[in-house]
Amino acid sequence: MYTPEKCKYTKTHEWACIENGVAAVGITDYAQHEISDIVFVELPKPGANIRQGERCAVIESVKAASDFFAPVSGEVVEANSALAAEPALANQSPHEKGWFCKIKLSGDGGQAALMDYAAYQQFTASLKH
């Protein structure tokens, strides 16, 4: 479990859980609720170098496609094959079974730009009308 309190967040609703220079990344509960009914994810391949803020995965719901932007910079070391096989995991378990991939950070990976849990909670509260 990548406990929400431990994670750092983007304004585009990705989380990153950083341990020993490797970030597990995924989408937040807010995002999975907004996207709804995820039926396909296209994940980055291990070995791929990705930069923070770049699109590195595509999320398809029944209704629409959404982009997944890399929350950190680095090299993809693992993609979640269970999620590729069962995309609904991103809805059912966004912070555990529904993680997207693991990224070995280059430098600090740009994590200083991310929000902590409290800031992200405030951010999503400001989005609700």
Partner 1 sequence: MTSQTIRRTPLYDSMLKAGGRMVDFHGWELPVQFSGILQEHRAVRSDCGIFDVSHMGQVFITGADAHALVQKLNANDIKTVPGKGVYSHVLNEHGGLVDDVIPFCLSNERFLVVVNSATTDKDFAWFKKHSAGMNASVENASDRYGMIALQGPKAPQLMAELWPDAVKLPRFWITETKIHGEGGFICRTGYTGEDGCEIIAPPSAIVKVWDELLSRGKKYGIAPCGLGSRDTLRLEAGYLLYGSDVDDDHTTLEANYGWVLKPNKGEFIGKEAVLKQKKEGIRRKLTGIVLEQGGVPRPGCAVWRGGEKIGELCSATFSPVLGRGIGVGYLVPPDLKEGEPLSVEIHSRKIPARTAKVPFYANKV
Query: Closer to partner 1 at the Cβ: 1 or 65?
Result: 65
- Residues near partner 1 (CB under 8 A) are 36-37, 39-40, 42, 58, 60-65, 84
| CB of residue 36 to partner 1, shortest distance in Å | 6
DSSP letters along 63-112, please? S-EEEEE-SS-EEEEEE-HHHHH-TTHHHH-TTTTT--EEEEESTTTTGG
Query: Closer to partner 1 at the Cβ: 11 or 63?
Result: 63
| CB of residue 32 to partner 1, shortest distance in Å | 11
| CB of residue 129 to partner 1, shortest distance in Å | 12
Query: Closer to partner 1 at the Cβ: 60 or 75?
Result: 60
Cα 98 → chain centroid: 9
> Tokens standing for 117?
């849990």
Query: Closer to partner 1 at the Cβ: 24 or 41?
Result: 41
Rounded to whole angstroms, the Cα distance separating 68 from 83 reads 14
CB 57, CB 101: distance < 8 Å: yes
